[in-house]
């Protein structure tokens, strides 16, 4: 049996500024680093076979903090990168609404009709993330694998695994930084065991 623990990178400076990142990047905040360390502590009793991570700096740093001093092989894969947001990258929600209001509305409220001027649609992200997932499953017949990726990638992937339409992409739960989504693979079947588990994050635990 193969168990996949899929997490989102820790909180970043641009997350705090409500600035979209996509293929662009910004550093983890103090909280982002602390949450990654908390997840590392939570997972320390799991004998991880490997860690797969997005090539973005925020994901790589999160992966390294979770791994800590453990000698776990780490593999970078561009297919785990966040959705490519074209001209939106580095801009705040407010700024995007000023020059691309309709697409921005589609992105958050009608994801099934969102079509970027430049970048990726949600279906593009689904296809590459699922292909990356299949690559891991082909390579590892059993064991425990950590995958460090991004919010849209996680939402696109779980929507697909639930056989839900893209219009349900933003359904709860919210994907907090370093929250864990668990997928079990047995006899070729992928089962979503949990989604967005943030029980190790202090402020979420007390909500």
- Specify binding-site residues for substrate: 8-15, 58
Dihedral sign, Cα of residue 122, residue 171, residue 133, residue 47: positive
CB atoms within 10 A of CB 105: 13
CA–centroid distance for 60 within its chain: 12
**82 has catalytic annotation:** yes
Cα separation values, 151 from 1, 22, 29, 156, Å: 26, 10, 17, 9
Binding-site sequence positions? 8-15, 58
State the catalytic residue, choosing from 34, 69, 76, 82.
82
**138 has catalytic annotation:** no
Cα separation values, 87 from 53, 125, 144, 156, 183, Å: 25, 17, 37, 21, 33
Point out the residues that are catalytic: 9, 82
């Amino acid at each position: 049996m193969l168990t996949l623990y899929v997490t989102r990178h820790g909180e970043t400076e641009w997350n705090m500024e409500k600035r979209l990142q996509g293929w662009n990047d910004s550093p983890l905040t103090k909280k982002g680093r602390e949450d990654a360390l908390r997840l590392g502590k939570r997972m320390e009793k799991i004998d991880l076979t490997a860690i797969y991570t997005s090539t973005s700096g925020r994901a790589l740093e999160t992966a390294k903090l979770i791994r800590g001093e453990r000698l776990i092989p780490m593999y970078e894969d561009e297919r785990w990168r966040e959705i490519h947001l074209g001209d939106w990258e580095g801009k705040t929600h407010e700024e995007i609404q000023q020059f691309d209001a309709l697409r921005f509305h589609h992105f958050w409220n009608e994801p099934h009709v969102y079509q970027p001027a430049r970048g990726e649609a949600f279906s593009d992200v689904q296809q590459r993330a699922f292909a990356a997932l299949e690559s891991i499953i082909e390579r590892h017949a059993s064991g425990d694998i950590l995958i460090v990726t991004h919010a849209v990638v996680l939402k696109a992937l779980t929507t697909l695994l639930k056989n839900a339409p893209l219009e349900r992409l933003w359904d709860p739960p919210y994907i907090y930084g370093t929250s864990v989504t668990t997928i079990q693979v047995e006899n070729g079947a992928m089962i979503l065991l949990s989604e967005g588990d943030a029980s190790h994050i202090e402020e979420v635990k007390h909500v």
